[in-house]
Amino acid sequence: MNIKRKYTFNPLTRYITKGISERIPEPIVTKLWAILDTFLKTKLTKDYLQVFVLKMTPTKIQIRHFQEEPAYEHEVSLEITKADDPHSVINEEEIKIYIIDDEDHSTMLLAEEY
């Protein structure tokens, strides 16, 4: 018997890991949750694992959001302002972030923390 689970990524039970807290600026974390919330409003089936790949350029952050099952992908580009420059915190050109829903809570973590 195959039971379909409904992953809601409940805003009341969302957490971030120490790695996210230390390496990703709060405005970027907030933007990732907002991108997820926009996706949650669609009628598409949600996977328990949501993946975000951030690519840094001198003037933008390219964010690719995807899930594997069922396949979904969306890209967003954020302009970087001098007052909100994440380069001072994010040293990598590319960083992968997961948001995992285990039905009780959702956790945002760096891929290497998985």
24 vs 22: CA distance, rounded Å: 6
Q: Tens place of pLDDT for every residue, the chain, 114 residues? A: 556 678 999 999 999 999 999 999 999 999 999 999 999 999 999 999 999 999 988 888 999 999 999 999 999 998 876 555 565 556 678 999 999 999 899 999 999 999
pTM (two decimals)? 0.89
What local confidence, expressed as pLDDT, does residue 80 receive? 76
34 vs 28: CA distance, rounded Å: 10
Looking at residue 15, its amino acid is Y
Give CATH superfamily name and number for 11-113.
Answer: enterococcus faecalis protein (3.10.450.150)
34 vs 29: CA distance, rounded Å: 9
Q: Which residue, 95, 94, 4, 92, is CA-closest to 48?
A: 4
